């Protein structure tokens, strides 16, 4: 049962407080992606807490096979579209590949543009220990950061595909990217650097539960079980718009893809049959 009511406008401090240990709320955070004004307005009206302008747009909007081709200019454009449609939710924008990894200066400029030109309230970037200094510098400049560890799509080539991470343990003291222990360290590093929340993607539920218990900031899971402090999904997957591209872990809550096809087929049949659908000037 909820102990408090969500505010009229979701802010970074509110999201940060969504941790049972802080006694602010017992309600898990609800997050969905959006890439345009229309979808953003709809999910915002549904009462989601966070709207993520994800670089997943590379796959579900642009038809790419990975998120890597997405550019900063494209992210700014889509973020601006989304922020125009959102009144309540916190808008977070993904930082695309190579917009923050090459230097602190590049990261600051990229993140600043997503806030200044895109209108986002926060940015999300992938990586743990390796990105801690970058996160800390952005936070020092009052740019709120959401972290992202575990299965990080921008690391697809290292991982050999979109594969669950954290299933194996280190051998002795050797550091192993993608190991259970390394993901724990990554999450702790993200928190220590000042991130206000962290996405845990594609990790075993037991690992997500362990990390959630260790962190004072909220964890937002995707394909990570139900122990996180919130959950996020790609809206196109949730709505059944991606058909055979939908990941197997996604619970589809609608089959709008089939509805779109059927509606287009009906329209096509009417056009070919020359069925009148009215006139623009009804007073003539």
Catalytic (active-site) positions: 201
Output the DSSP codes for the chain.
Answer: --SSPPPSS--HHHHHT--GGGTS--PPEEEEE--SHHHHHHHHHTT-SEEEE-TTHHHHTS--SSSTT--HHHHHHHHHHHHHH-SSSEEEEEPPTTSSSS-HHHHHHHHHHHHHTT--SEEE--BSGGGHHHHHHHHHTT--EEEEEES-GGGHHHHTSS---S-S--STT---TTSHHHHHHHHHHHHHHT-SEEEEES--HHHHHHHHHH-SS-EEEESS-S-SSEEEE-HHHHTT-SGGGS-TT---S--HHHHHHHHHHHHHHHHHTT-----S-TT-
């Amino acid at each position: 049962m909820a102990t408090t009511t969500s505010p009229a406008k979701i802010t970074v401090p509110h999201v940060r407080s969504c941790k049972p240990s802080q006694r602010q709320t017992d309600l898990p955070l609800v997050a969905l992606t959006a890439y345009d004004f229309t979808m953003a307005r709809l999910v915002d009206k549904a009462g989601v807490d966070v709207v993520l302008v994800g670089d997943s747009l590379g796959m579900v909007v642009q038809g790419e096979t990975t998120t890597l081709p997405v550019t900063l200019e494209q992210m700014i454009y889509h973020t601006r579209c989304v922020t125009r449609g959102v009144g309540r939710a916190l808008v977070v924008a993904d930082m695309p590949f190579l917009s923050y990894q090459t230097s602190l200066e590049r990261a600051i400029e990229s993140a600043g543009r997503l806030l200044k030109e895109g209108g986002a309230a926060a940015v999300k970037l992938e990586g743990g220990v390796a990105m801690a200094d970058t996160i800390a510098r952005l936070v020092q400049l009052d740019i709120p950061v959401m972290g992202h560890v575990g299965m990080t799509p921008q690391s697809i080539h290292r991982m050999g595909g979109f594969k669950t991470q954290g299933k194996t343990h280190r051998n002795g003291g050797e550091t192993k990217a993608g190991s259970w222990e390394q993901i724990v360290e990554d999450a702790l590093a993200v928190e220590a650097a000042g991130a206000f929340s962290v996405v845990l993607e594609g990790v075993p539920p037991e690992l997500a539960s362990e990390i959630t218990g260790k962190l004072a900031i909220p964890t937002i899971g995707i394909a990570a079980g139900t122990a996180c402090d919130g959950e996020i999904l790609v809206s196109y997957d949730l709505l059944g718009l991606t058909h055979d591209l939908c990941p197997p872990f996604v619970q589809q809550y609608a089959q709008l893809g089939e509805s779109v096809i059927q509606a287009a087929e009906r329209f096509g049949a009417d056009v070919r049959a020359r069925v009148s659908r009215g006139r623009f000037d009804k007073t003539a």
